[in-house]
């Protein structure tokens, strides 16, 4: 048990070190499926593609690996047993689709490595090909994501939803994804304190033995979207032994800097950030609309400041693309010495 706990706490730190001091997460997954032509106007959102177009899911993973990602997130964000059952699938079929989401990401990693070996894309070190380290993170979206009405951007589930409701809702999916062969669990777009508490208790009760990250979402740079304090939310993550990183995703870039500073006040665990494009989601139409006010088009220009503030895992969320990841990579790797992959693109 002690060994396991030490493993979890060092896991991402070791990985980040192996990657060179920071690691790249992938970018928007669902919105990238859409750019490839998928119609996600469905209660399952991106998880619909696990049924209708698994090849596209693999394609998008590969595009992010080609762009330089060290961590790819599975298509399971809005894949829930309850959601699949509502579509008429059996429990067994639903569980198998969850496992499939991890398998597809692992297949993409294998294909990527094979391609690298064949083309000798990765740099050669003392005659050996050094493979870029890549992890597969099993995504778990919130209860609000399952509701498919944009509730993960409000975090208001009403009084009828208790800690126990959330634990009951998430337990089986977590059990399955934790044993599906992923390297870690990414709890994403967490909108409130109650859900963070539910995840922390489930990780403990289920004895999950792969690490996890908790990533919250905010719309003001001070609190998470429900209005709960980011300090309290990040503290829950800090005290959970299986949590290996804490951070923010699907939040406009302009809010990220302050949130990193807040998170660093309550935890010394690695900080992960993967903001969205700064656009606003219309949940009814499942469409993105340009936001008025401060422009977030210069997303990438903030990245250096985020690193200085203490973040070490960087990527993008909704409406960011493989090019966003390439640009982040370009900013973080010293511009004066472009990496081989940068050179390949010239
Ligand atoms: C992070 S939001 C864009 C995810 C999609 C939402 N749960 C929906 O189904 O509309
Ligand atoms: N990993 C998910 C998060 C949605 S907020 C995606 O990129 O689709
Ligand atoms: Zn997002």
Q: What would the pLDDT profile of 131-179 be if each residue is shown by its tens digit?
A: 899 999 999 999 999 999 999 999 999 999 999 999 999 999 999 999 9
For a substitution probing ligand 1, which of 45, 249, 284 has the most ligand atoms within 8 Å of its CB? 45
231's CB contacts (< 8 A; 6+ apart) are 262, 265, 266
Ligand 1 and 47: CB distance under 6 A:
no
Q: What DSSP state is assigned to residue 216?
A: E
d(C-alpha 332, C-alpha 19), whole Å: 12
- Please state, in angstroms and as integers, the Cα–Cα distance from residue 128 to each residue in 19, 113, 124, 133, following that order: 17, 14, 6, 15
pTM for this prediction: 0.93
* Architecture of the 2-343 domain: Alpha-Beta Barrel (3.20)
Residue 296 has pLDDT above 60, yes or no: no
ipTM over 0.90: yes
Angstrom distance (rounded) from CA 290 to CA 280: 6
Distance of CA 167 from the midpoint of ligand 1 (Å): 21
Pocket of ligand 1 contains residue 145 by CB under 6 Å? yes
Give the pLDDT band of residue 202 (cuts 50, 70, 90): very high
Determine if ligand 2 sits within 6 Å of the CB of residue 315.
Answer: no
129 CA → ligand 2 middle, Å: 32
DSSP letter assigned to residue 98: H
**Between these two residues, 8 and 293, which has the higher pLDDT value?**
8
- In angstroms, rounded to a whole number, what is the distance separating the alpha carbons of residues 154 and 147? 12
Tell me the residue length of the chain.
346
Report every protein residue that has its C-beta within 5 angstroms of ion ligand 3.
250, 317-318
Measured in degrees and rounded to the nearest 5, phi and psi for residue 273 equal: -135, 130
The pLDDT of residue 241 is above 90: yes
CA distance 165 to 161: 6
Query: Residue 17: helix, strand or coil by DSSP?
Result: helix
| Beta carbons of 304 and 46 less than 8 angstroms apart | no
């Amino acid at each position: 048990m002690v060994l396991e706990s030490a493993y979890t706490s060092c896991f991402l730190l070791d990985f980040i070190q192996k990657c060179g001091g920071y690691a790249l997460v992938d970018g928007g997954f669902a919105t990238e499926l859409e750019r490839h032509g998928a119609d996600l106007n469905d209660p399952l959102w991106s998880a619909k593609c696990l049924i209708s177009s698994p090849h596209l899911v693999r394609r998008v993973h590969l595009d992010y690996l080609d762009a330089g990602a060290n961590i790819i997130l599975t298509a399971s964000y809005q894949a829930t047993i309850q959601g699949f059952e509502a579509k008429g699938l059996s429990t067994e079929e639903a569980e198998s689709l969850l496992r499939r989401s991890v398998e597809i990401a692992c297949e993409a990693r294998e294909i990527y490595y094979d391609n690298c070996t064949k083309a000798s894309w990765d740099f050669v070190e003392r005659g050996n090909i050094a493979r870029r380290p890549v992890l597969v993170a099993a995504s778990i979206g919130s209860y609000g994501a399952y509701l498919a009405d944009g509730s993960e951007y409000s975090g208001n589930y009403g009084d009828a939803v208790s800690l126990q409701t959330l634990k009951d809702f998430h337990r089986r999916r977590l059990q399955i994804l934790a044993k599906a062969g992923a390297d870690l669990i990414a709890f994403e777009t967490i909108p409130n304190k109650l859900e963070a508490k539910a995840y922390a208790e489930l990780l403990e009760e289920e004895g999950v033995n792969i690490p996890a990250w908790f990533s919250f979402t905010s719309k003001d740079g001070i609190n998470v979207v429900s209005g709960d304090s980011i300090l309290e939310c990040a503290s829950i993550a800090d005290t959970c032994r299986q949590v290996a990183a804490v951070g923010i995703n699907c939040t406009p870039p302009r809010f990220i800097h302050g949130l990193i500073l807040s998170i660093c006040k309550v935890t010394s665990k690695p900080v992960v950030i993967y903001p969205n494009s700064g656009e606003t989601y219309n949940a009814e139409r499942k469409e993105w609309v340009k936001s008025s006010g401060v422009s977030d088009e210069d997303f990438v220009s903030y990245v250096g400041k985020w690193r200085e503030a203490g973040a070490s895992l960087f990527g993008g969320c909704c409406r960011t693309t493989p090019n966003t990841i390439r640009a982040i990579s370009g900013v973080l790797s010293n511009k004066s010495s472009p990496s081989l992959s940068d050179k390949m693109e010239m």
